[in-house]
Copies of this chain bind each other. A is one copy, B any other.
Amino acid sequence: MTLTGEMLIGATAVRGTEDTFQAINPATGETLAPTFHGGNAADVDRACQLAEAAFDTYRATTPEQRARFLESIAEGIEALGDELVQRAHAETALPIARLQGERGRTAGQLRLFARVVRDGRWQDATLDSALPERTPPRPDLRMQNIPVGPVAVFGASNFPLAFSVAGGDTASALAAGCPVVVKAHPAHPGTSELVGRVIQKAVADNGLPEGVFSIVMGAGIAIGTALVAHPVIQAVGFTGSRTGGMALVKVANERPQPIPVYAEMSSINPVYLLPEALAARGEAIARDLVESLVMGVGQFCTNPGLLLAIEGPALDAFRAAAVAAVSAKAAGTMLTPGIHQAFERGVAQLSAVEGLTRPGCGLAGTGPNQARPAFFETTAERFIADHRMHAEVFGPSTVLVTCRDVDTLLAVTRILEGQLTATVQADAGDQAVAARLLPALERKVGRVLFNGYPTGVEVSFAMVHGGPFPATSDTRTTSVGASAIDRFLRPVCYQNVPAALLPAAVQDGNPLNLWRLKDGELGRA
């Protein structure tokens, strides 16, 4: 496919008239053809008006039609073959194997949501029978979820496939029945165009109205702001920085009609190294933890940026092994010059903090945009007192916080901000401590994991990739996994509505064969 540098607005390709930009190969610093042409508020308006025009038709599609649409997007992405992976590699410097895996995850996500749509539990169909003899009589009441309306999705830089144009936000919004307008991430515009054209074709092939999907582009913040502010848009999906996410939340809150923003933003993902685990397998933990730290050059929302342990010989051995492992790690190329500069700035700011040492540092880089892994250490008292250490440094940087005892470990936990994950390394002898820790962690995070590492997020039914602020802007939700569809739904109740007008999900006879709640009892009858 020849890239054109155009936006995709409904069925057409539109050359923007504003700022132009090109992708940069972060490994070489070279710009990549073609030139992309940024759009303006009029382009956003066109995309949004088409989305609005498409909404009622799209939401009236059957679950089967919507599932097939999602599957055809997955097939289209796979059919792009090596071209997609090569382009994403050139634009992001992420390894080929990682991008192949991410492509598989992206297609798998689309197919999971096809299954979710067919299953129909998302409709939450609920029926209360009329009680005409009661005083006062109870009317016939039926409830189902419907899609909220057109959704704006912001592509994330660190998952150019799985959380970008056809990523989790898009898949769950389309599954819910919401048209999607994507703001492409300017760091991988070519990847975005490739995937966008796949969706555009799938819309046409499935006989759907063109406004079901559009993609707008721009290097600055103006076009994204215009998108969130557009009255047609009813919800926003975003993965990125705390600053970026909160800027969108502000725009959304200041609309005449405020809308929800699902922003997955900032997390330092504490890892608890409990004493028995550290004594039994401290060196193995050190090795695996450093692998998790540097994986993808630390550019994961779930990167382990905070380690907590209790002082003692086992911690000393762990520290030595971790420092040795970090020191042997090569620098890695980050996604963009901007992300690399922010990482260097973050590391420099941490280095200037009094009472924070840097016992470990990876090898110096040899090319542009390379980040050296950094391993810092401080005490619990200093960590609690200095909030500069609580902020995420996006990249391969972590801070070991040494605690005098279990109570100190718990005290640090209680002052943490909200997190996506917390990890506990615990052996059988640590169980009493872990039992005290778990309730504290439940209150701080979306996912608690034992004896593993936080990087790697399964796409499944039970996954929660969310958590209290500032991990996300909406702690009640997840952006990964089947429940992500719930973000784009709202309930409607039908009271004494004539049978001929009732939506299929709540009709007598249960024509969609859904699990439904009837008079408080769940069943499929």
Contact = CB atoms under 8 A, between A and B. Distances in A.
A452 interface: yes
A469 to B, nearest CB: 5
Given A456-B136, A492-B448, A462 B522 contact: no
B461 A128 contact: yes
A446 B495 contact: no
A56 B413 CA distance: 15
B461 A126 contact: yes
Contacts of A478: 491
Interface string A92-116: 0000000000000000000000010
B522 A143 contact: no
B493 A446 contact: yes
Interface in A114-170: 115, 119, 121, 126-128, 136, 138-139, 141-143, 146, 148-149
Nearest to A500: B431
A490 interface: yes
Contact of A121 (B136, B139, B522): B522
Interface string A236-264: 00000000000001000100011010000
A491 B446 contact: yes
Interface stretch (A35-43, A390-398, A436-444): A436-444
Nearest to A439: B56
A497 interface: yes
Contact of A257 (B141, B451, B468): B468
Interface string A447-476: 111111000101011111010111001111
Interface stretch (A5-13, A218-226, A314-322, A513-521): A513-521
Contacts of A520: 115, 119, 461, 482
A498 B474 CA distance: 28
Nearest to A496: B450
B461 A146 contact: no
Residue with the highest number of chain B CB atoms closer than 10 Å, among A142, A438, A501? A501
Interface residues of A, number: 76
A191 interface: no
A180 to B, nearest CB: 17
Contacts of A126: 461-462, 483
Most chain B CB neighbours (cut-off 10 Å) among A141, A253, A431, A468: A141
A434 interface: yes
Give the most central of A136, A442, A500: most B CB within 10 Å: A442
A452 B140 CA distance: 11
Interface in A402-453: 417-418, 426, 431, 434-435, 438-439, 442-443, 445-452
B431 A501 contact: yes
Which of A115, A138, A448 counts the most chain B CB atoms within 10 A? Answer: A448
A301 B231 CA distance: 25
A445 B497 CA distance: 14
A474 B477 CA distance: 14
- Of A141, A431, A493, the most chain B CB neighbours within 10 A belong to A493
A334 B470 CA distance: 44
Nearest to A478: B491
A138 B458 contact: yes
Contacts of A260: 474, 476
Given A146-B442, A469-B257, A501-B438, A452 B139 contact: yes
Given A128-B460, A491-B466, A443 B143 contact: no
A493 B448 contact: yes
A489 interface: yes
A119 to B, nearest CB: 7
7 contacts: A60-B439, A139-B449, A257-B469, A431-B500, A434-B501, A450-B497, A466-B491
Going nearest first, the 3 A-B pairs with the smallest beta carbon separation are A449-B495, A464-B493, A143-B462
